[in-house]
Amino acid sequence: MPEITTDSRLREVHAHPLGRDILDKILLQVGLSARWVDNPVVGRVRLRHLVRLSRGRVDAAFVDTLVRLLAAHPDVPDDSPGTAPPAWWKEAVFYQIYPRSFSDSDGDGIGDLQGIVDRLDHLQALGVDALWLSPIYDSPNDDNGYDIRDYRAIGAEYGSMADFDRLLAEVHARGMRLIMDLVVNHTSDEHAWFTAALAEPDSPYRDYYFLRPGPADAVPNNWTSFFSGPAWRHFPASTTGAGQDLWAMHLFSSKQMDLDWSHEPLRAEVVDMVRWWLDKGVDGFRLDVVNYISKDPGLPDGDALVGELMGFTGVEHYFAGPRLHEHLRQLRAEAFEPYGAVSVGECPGIGSETGRLLTGEGRGELDMIFTFDHLEAPGKVRFDDYRYRLDHLRDHVAKYQREWGSRHQVALFWDNHDNPRMISKVDPRPEHRVALGKLLAAVQFTVRGTPFLFQGQELGMVNQAFASMAGLRDVESLNKYAELRAAGADEATAFGQVLAGTRDHARVPVAWDAGPHGGFTTGEPWISGDGDHETWNMAAAWQDPASVLTWHRDLIALRRSSPALLQGTTEFLDTRRGRWVHRRTAPGEEYLVVLNLTDADQAVRDPGPSYEVVLDSLGGPPDRLGPYGARILRRVGD
């Protein structure tokens, strides 16, 4: 890979793996097509001319940061065919449980481990192979467990370590697997490491964090938090053992203190803790914002334009830091590899090129990653109130199917605990809820990759009609509301914007039956949905052959039975606006997947007598497909 300098042309930057990802991300954020860089005139522009050509919008600091970033990531993905034998996690269907909202066994209104045990029959009947538990560790729950106070203790509200051991045994007894959530970009401010670091100036834990001395009016840099405000919390001298004012970095809430991974003893602690859980028999981890763990030395100020484009200042100094690959290799070699444990890294801001460097077979880093560029339309962010067009999902999926070969495994998700429900983002009208739930599943279980189902997705759960901020619990939402109000927004405007993107849409309790609170709890739930559980609940869905749930069960079974759907080739046959047809093939097997991405009837090509319909969400003649219809056909003749 030729060295990128300020003299390099944009086309050379776009030829650099991380450079391509960064340019694609910037174009996505501003709503421009990624093909914009293919324009020969644009491609010839030299980086150093961008400052003049942009009349200063792009400043010299931006160009210097870009050059330095690309120099720190010289590797090029290896796209040759993989040689490793099929791994269980390439064929598995994962199911994410947000324990707090899954099933409450003791009536305290909070989901717990026994509640998960009680629902294992549901998960086994659905056909999922592995569970991912969002954090269940001891935590003050400022961010619902993503602020860990003790990595080796179960949060009392979820039960005991004995309850966990029983859950793990029950999961394994069913031939299923279980992965945990590894949150090691930060700890709670109540973690013993942090309280010691704050209280004792010569504590060995002081270097575990980004602690900087300084008065309240001298914040160390201009980075902003993902949860509003600066990414630094000030501790007055009276609260620190040294009698000096201290600043501590937090990319997330002010109770989530970032760990300094450049400090070897911290890395050793993480390795030791991971091995402790792997010794207990867990099968791997999902690694929370793992691409953020390496920060640029010196913690330089973030570029104003990057901050404006990305919505968060400073992100260029940690989204793919200088020692990221090195740290991941150490973690894999010393903790995951010896146990054959699976790793899936959550990587916000990472694109296809860097993603292949993080997951490639033989790279020794991660097995899979979650990327996020498919979750919002070009030029949109989660808190924009807009209708998501499925054409964007199709183009994103097609890109990854094209660019990620057998050496890289795509992780496929649409819903998770951090995002509104995809059905509602596409079309919130109730008449389309079932068809959309089935269409989204038809994609997730028929393109190549590992599906990650989020709890309630199999039911067709949708966004909630929260009446006011009183119904919300998420620290990100509460902080954003306060920020909007402080900036002058009236209550209705601020609530409306938060409602569009609040993570609480995905965090309301799962509905198991038509009883009070959907059978989630016999007590008062910690958060309430809008009560559609009388009709939308698992018990009713299991009885309904046309439900989103039975469609998921049938699709998961079909995928498991089919080499073509598991590891076959993928060809996109129709990607015109509003249309999606792809073909999956393996020796002696071929499937066609025909989708209508619009809310109107559509004429489709009749595949003819060589194909038989295997699954059809709306039925109808072979040359037509209803609104958001999904039809899966298998080749039976020549």
Residues annotated catalytic, as ranges: 288, 346
Residue number with CB closer to ligand TEU (407 or 507): 507
User: Measured between alpha carbons, how far is 226 from 251 in angstroms, rounded to an integer?
Assistant: 6
Residue nearest to ligand TEU (CB): 146
Minimum gap (Å) between residue 587 Cβ and ligand TEU: 39
Minimum gap (Å) between residue 288 Cβ and ligand TEU: 5
Dihedral in degrees, nearest 10, Cα atoms 231, 237, 239, 242: 110
Minimum gap (Å) between residue 359 Cβ and ligand TEU: 17
Binding-site member from 348, 428, 607, 620 for ligand TEU (CB under 6 A): 348
Chain center to CA of 363 = 22
146 binds ligand TEU (CB under 6 A): yes
Minimum gap (Å) between residue 12 Cβ and ligand TEU: 30
Residues 474-493 that bind ligand TEU (CB under 6 A): 476
Q: Smallest Cα–Cα separation from 391: which of 239, 540, 597, 600?
A: 597
Quote the strand ranges of 103-182, DSSP E. Answer: 130-133, 137-138, 150-154, 177-182
Residue number with CB closer to ligand TEU (12 or 142): 142
226 binds ligand TEU (CB under 6 A): yes
Minimum gap (Å) between residue 30 Cβ and ligand TEU: 18
Residues 243-262 that bind ligand TEU (CB under 6 A): 252
Let me know if 229 is exposed, middle or buried by CB neighbors in 10 A (0-12, 13-18, 19+).
middle
143 binds ligand TEU (CB under 6 A): yes
Backbone angles phi, psi at 597, to 5 degrees: -85, 10
Size of the site for ligand TEU (CB under 6 A): 13
CA distances from 409 to 200, 369, 445, 467 (A): 45, 8, 14, 41
Residue number with CB closer to ligand TEU (411 or 556): 411
Minimum gap (Å) between residue 311 Cβ and ligand TEU: 8
Residue number with CB closer to ligand TEU (104 or 418): 418
581 binds ligand TEU (CB under 6 A): no
Owner of token pair 């997951």:
359
183 binds ligand TEU (CB under 6 A): yes
Buried b or exposed e, range 144-168, using 16+ CB within 10 angstroms: bbbbbbebeebbebbbeeebbeebb
Element (H, E) at 269: helix 264-279
Minimum gap (Å) between residue 146 Cβ and ligand TEU: 3
Looking at the chain, the number of H-run helices and the number of E-run strands are 22, 22
Residues 436-465 that bind ligand TEU (CB under 6 A): none
Residue number with CB closer to ligand TEU (289 or 581): 289
471 binds ligand TEU (CB under 6 A): no
User: Measured between alpha carbons, how far is 401 from 609 in angstroms, rounded to an integer?
Assistant: 28
Contacts of residue 511, defined as CB under 8 A and 6 or more positions apart, other chains included, come to 456, 459, 461, 518, 519, 520, 529, 532, 533, 536, 537, 538
611 binds ligand TEU (CB under 6 A): no
Residue number with CB closer to ligand TEU (146 or 580): 146
Backbone angles phi, psi at 569, to 5 degrees: -80, 160
User: Measured between alpha carbons, how far is 532 from 145 in angstroms, rounded to an integer?
Assistant: 27
Residue number with CB closer to ligand TEU (348 or 622): 348
Contacts of residue 462, defined as CB under 8 A and 6 or more positions apart, other chains included, come to 421, 423, 424, 428, 433
Contacts of residue 473, defined as CB under 8 A and 6 or more positions apart, other chains included, come to 144, 504, 507, 526, 527
Minimum gap (Å) between residue 256 Cβ and ligand TEU: 6
3-state secondary structure of 539: helix
418 binds ligand TEU (CB under 6 A): yes
Binding mask 293-322 for ligand TEU (x = CB under 6 A): ------------------------------
288 binds ligand TEU (CB under 6 A): yes
415 binds ligand TEU (CB under 6 A): no
498 binds ligand TEU (CB under 6 A): no
Residue number with CB closer to ligand TEU (382 or 624): 382
- The CB-side HSE value for 609 (13 A sphere, CA atoms) comes to 1
Buried b or exposed e, range 45-74, using 16+ CB within 10 angstroms: bbbebbbeeeeeebeebbbebbbebbebbe
209 binds ligand TEU (CB under 6 A): no
Residues 355-384 that bind ligand TEU (CB under 6 A): 382
Residues 382-401 that bind ligand TEU (CB under 6 A): 382
Minimum gap (Å) between residue 476 Cβ and ligand TEU: 6
Residue number with CB closer to ligand TEU (382 or 553): 382
Q: Smallest Cα–Cα separation from 189: which of 174, 199, 179?
A: 199
Query: Residues in the site for ligand TEU, rule: CB under 6 A?
Result: 143, 146, 183, 226, 252, 288-289, 346, 348, 382, 417-418, 476
